[in-house]
Amino acid sequence: MSQLSFSSFDAALMVRDSQGHYLPATADQILEAARQAIEHKMQRGASFGSPSEVKEYLRAKLAGFEHEVFAVLFLDSQHRLIDYAEMFHGTIDSASVYPREVVKEALRLNAAAVIVSHNHPSGSPEPSGADKMLTQRLKEALALVDIRTLDHIIVAGSLTTSFAERGLI
């Protein structure tokens, strides 16, 4: 875990085991509970009110992984959530992403737009050259079938970088 400390939560957060006993929650259990809570909060048809809400959502989904995860928010024409999908899982410093698979899923869901995202377990939210190249390839592939790529957000612990805000998309 980079930059996240759960030591102050140890006594306050408890989980029940299969025998009904309460035990202190682990960091992984806390993160999984956060993912479930954000999933419940942002269901199909929900609208993101601001870029900061998108970042908050993606931080909750991707911040705790110790390996790279590439995810896509599939959106309708009004930019409401159709689905969140973790499409590719990788190693501590890379994940293989296949634009063809992203296009197939976007078409299957009838998405009008996407926001792509991945995490950097290293703790640095800076986009690499490979991140920039991948974003361009995805944008071009999706544009061929009239699907807009709105942003690529990198999550690194509690930090995020938005390609749109930096003028990279």
Residue 160 confidence (pLDDT): 96
- Residue 14 predicted with pLDDT over 90: no
Q: Lowest-confidence range among 31-40, 52-61, 83-92, 106-115?
A: 31-40
Q: How confident is the model at residue 2 (pLDDT cuts 50, 70, 90)?
A: very low
Q: In the chain, what are the domain boundaries?
A: 14-162
Q: What is the mean pLDDT of the chain?
A: 86
Residue 11 confidence (pLDDT): 52
User: Global pTM?
Assistant: 0.74
Give the pLDDT confidence of 44-103 residue by residue, as tens digits. Answer: 567 877 888 999 999 999 988 999 999 999 999 999 999 999 999 999 888 999 999 999
CATH of 14-162, one of 2.60.120.10, 3.40.140.10, 3.40.630.30, 3.20.20.70: 3.40.140.10
Give the 3-state DSSP-derived string for the chain, with helices as H, strands as E and coil as C.
CCCCCCHHHCCCCEEECCCCCEEECCHHHHHHHHHHHHHHHCCCCCECCCHHHHHHHHHHHHCCCCCCEEEEEEECCCCEEEEEEEEEECCCCCCCCCHHHHHHHHHHCCCCEEEEEEECCCCCCCCCHHHHHHHHHHHHHHHCCCCEEEEEEEEECCEEEECCCCCCC
Residue 146 confidence (pLDDT): 98
Mean pLDDT within 118-144? 96
